[in-house]
Structures are given as C-alpha cells and as structure tokens.
Chains A and B, each alone.
Chain A
Amino acid sequence: MSRFRKKRGKASPAIQTASLPDIIFMLLFFFMVVTVLRDADIIVQVTTPEATELTSLERKSLVNYIYIGVPYERYQHIYGSSPRIQMGDAIRGLNDIALFIGEHRLRVPENQIPAITTSLRVDGDVTMGIVSDVKIELRKAEQYKVNYSARPRIE
C-alpha cells in the first residue's frame, strides 16, 4: 500500500515539452526539403486540357517549361490579349526557343542532355497555329522529347 502512495506523490503535474521543438523542427525540415519555390512568375493564363493517358515527369532539373496562353489581364496593356509564349519568367518570341533550350542544356551534365524534356503548358483554348510553330522551332533546336502537359480526367 505504501508503495503506491509513494509513486503518486512523485508524479510531476507538468507535461514535458522540451522535445516538442525537436518534433516540430523535424516537420519543418521535411517541408523545407520538399518545397520547390516557384522560380517563374506566370504571366500567361494556362488551364491545361484534361486527358487520360498521362505519364508523370520526374527529375525536375531535366524539365523546362514553355507556357502558351493569353496574358493575364494585369499584363494585357503590355503584352496584348492574343496568345503569347512564355519561357522562364518572360514573354519571348519564337526565335528565342533555340536559345532557351541551349541555356538549359548548359546547366545539365552532358550525358543527361538527351533526357531533357520540354513541357508544353498550353491553354486549352489556344489554337494550334502557335503551338505548331513552337513545335517546329523545337524540332529545329533538336529538342524532340516533349510533354503536352495535361490534367487527369476525373470520370
């Protein structure tokens, strides 16, 4: 009987919070590692179409993005309201595509250059004219691996 009483007397009322920061820091580091701060400011509005036969892109460092769409309203006084091409964080023309691809190739180890993928993020309402022009430029720049970015279709 006396043993029980002794234990109860010793129990401290406060919960130990000293290890709480450690747990939180662990979570913090997880999110810091996972976070990819978006480097490009999107100028054109892109709603990608839906599709079913999707493959997901791995190796973010081997992917470059070309956006095609109508500029957002706040940019329309600069870029107009017809579809434009965005590469990196700027609106650029068709002749800049080869340069853009070349810039990316410089940043990638030589043996991985064939694995570079260009992801075309094109708005569904854009007509094929501009898209075909971009595709021709990509072919001229010997960038053959292309991804038509799309959202999974929910049926």
Chain B
Amino acid sequence: MARKSARDRMSNEINAGAMADIAFLLLIFFLVTTTIVEDRGILVRLPPWAEDEEIEQIADRNVLSILVNAQNQLLVRGEREDISNLRERSKEFIMNPMNLSNMPASPRDAIISLRNDRGTSYETYLEVYNEIMGAYNELRDELAESMFGEKYEDLNIDQRREIRSEIPMIISEAEPTEFGEER
C-alpha cells in the first residue's frame, strides 16, 4: 500500500509556483541593470572644413558679433552684455522691428558671429549657443503661429521649409583666440 502512494506523488502536477520566483529574480536583475539613457542636446551642423577659408565681406549691419572671453564675459557688438539679455537682444537684431539702419533689412540677411577664447568654459559657450537657438526658435514659433496658426514643431515639412527660408539660422563660428588658461 505504501508503494502505491509513492507513485501517486509522482503523477502530481509540477509545482509552477517556484517558476514565478525564478522569473522575479531575472526581472529584478534586469530592472536594476536597465538604464534607459535618453540622450538629449543641442543639434548643430558644422560647416565643411576648408584649409584657407575665403573671407567674405559682409555688411556690418548684418552681423551681430558675440565675443566670449576666458573670464566667461560677453561682448556683444563691442559692449558688455549680460547673458540673460542675449536672447532678447538677438531677437531684436534678427527681426529689426524698428527698421534701424544698423540691423539687417530682413531676417534672411542676419548673421550671428560667435567667437570665443580657448579658455572659455564649455558651459558658458553652450549657454550662449542655447540663447541664440532659443531666439531663433521663438521667432520661428511666432512666424509659424501667424502664418499657419500652429507651432513650428507641429508643421509639416513644406511649411517648415517655408519658415526656415524666411528665418534661416546662420551662426558663424570663428576659430577661437589663444587667450586664457586651459585646464
């Protein structure tokens, strides 16, 4: 009689409860190791490399020159400027709402020229770049709103192209000067 009961036990179902434990263990391992790294940043397009660059003469009124020195101070068109004003300043320069003679006649002519020292910190450089991008993005948004009644991001490719031809983003970066201590 005892033998029969042993056989009974063998024909029992496999206990699947432990399977959940194993799966949980694996799950926790992957939970811990997962790093959903999302890389975000400012997307730019570098100009092609040319050994001896042609120097183009551009009318002064079309250029907003921004200098950032090794002390991370800003010089916009020869005068000291605070980084927090840079966005408004660039917007005003690009659109030239008052039709001043020292600013471009149309946004298509506007060029922002950026120059820094080798000792400028990357953080400051990116902050300046961010403000310029921000100025352009805001202007494009405003134009998109008035032309199509939508934000620039929500437009289709053709509409975007139209906006981009109206307000192109021209940022010229000069070679950095040798000033400043590098670390």
Q: Which residues of A contact B (CB under 8 A)?
A: 17-18, 20-21, 24-25, 27-28, 31-32, 34-38, 48-49, 51-57, 63, 82-83, 117, 119-120, 122-132, 135-136, 138-140, 142-152
Contact B23 A25 (CB under 8 A): yes
- Assuming the contacts A53-B134, A123-B122, asked whether A32 and B30 have C-beta atoms less than 8 A apart, the reply is yes
Name the A residues within 8 Å of B120 (CB-CB): 127-128
Chain B residues lying within 8 Å of A147, measured Cβ to Cβ, are 39, 41-44
Complex Cα spacing A91 to B10, Å: 61
Are A127 and B122 in contact, CB atoms less than 8 angstroms apart?
yes
B82 sits at the interface (CB 8 A) = no
Given A32-B30, A53-B133, A146-B46, A128 and B125 contact (CB-CB distance below 8 Å): yes
- For A49, list chain B residues within 8 Å (CB): 122-123, 126-127
Decide: A35 and B34 in contact? CB cutoff 8 A: yes
Besides A20-B20, A55-B42, 17 new A-B residue pairs in contact (Cβ under 8 A), listed by A number: A20-B16, A24-B24, A28-B26, A32-B30, A35-B33, A49-B127, A51-B42, A53-B130, A57-B43, A125-B183, A127-B119, A127-B180, A129-B176, A129-B182, A130-B182, A136-B49, A150-B126
Per the bound structure, the CA–CA distance linking A120 and B126 in Å amounts to 12
Cα separation A56 to B42 with both chains bound (whole Å): 9
Question: Does B106 make an interface contact (CB < 8 A)?
Answer: no
Chain B residues positioned under 8 Å from A124 (CB to CB): 121-123, 126
Which of B42, B47, B119 sits near A150, CB closer than 8 Å?
B42
Query: What A residues does B22 contact at CB under 8 A?
Result: 21
> Secondary structure of the B side of the interface?
mixed
**Inter-subunit contact B42/A21 (CB<8 Å):** no
In the bound complex, residues from chain A placing their C-beta under 8 Å from that of B176 are 128-129, 132
Q: Judge whether B79 is part of the interface by a CB distance below 8 angstroms.
A: no
Cα A148 to Cα B38 with chains together (Å): 14
Known contacts: A34-B34, A56-B40. The answer to whether A148 contacts B49 by CB under 8 A is no
On chain B, the residues within 8 Å of A132 by CB distance are 118, 175-176
Find the B residue at minimum CB distance from A125.
B121
Smallest beta-carbon distance A50→chain B, Å: 8
User: Is B17 close to A, CB under 8 A?
Assistant: yes
Tell me, in angstroms, the Cα distance from A119 to B39 when the chains sit together: 8
Q: Are B121 and A138 in contact (CB under 8 A)?
A: no
Chain A residues with CB under 8 A of B30: 28, 31-32, 35
Q: Which residue of chain B lies nearest to A27 when distances are taken between CB atoms in the complex?
A: B27
B116 to A, closest residue via Cβ: A128
C-alpha gap A67/B23 in the complex (Å): 37
Determine the chain A residues whose CB is within 8 A of the CB of B27 once the complex forms. Answer: 24, 27-28, 31
* Nearest CB on A from B53, distance (A): 11
Report whether B122 and A53 are in contact in the complex, using a CB–CB cutoff of 8 Å.
Answer: no
In contact, B35 and A38 (Cβ under 8 angstroms):
yes
Show 5 residue pairs from A and B whose CB-CB distance is below 8 angstroms, ordered by the A residue.
Answer: A21-B22, A56-B40, A57-B40, A131-B122, A132-B176
Instruction: Give the distance to chain A from B151, nearest Cβ to Cβ, in Å.
Output: 14
Quick check: B180 and A54 within 8 Å, CB to CB? Answer: no
The answer to whether residues A144 and B119 also contact, given A34-B36, A49-B127 and a CB cut-off of 8 A, is no
Q: Which 5 A-B pairs have the closest CB atoms?
A: A129-B118, A124-B123, A24-B23, A139-B49, A31-B30
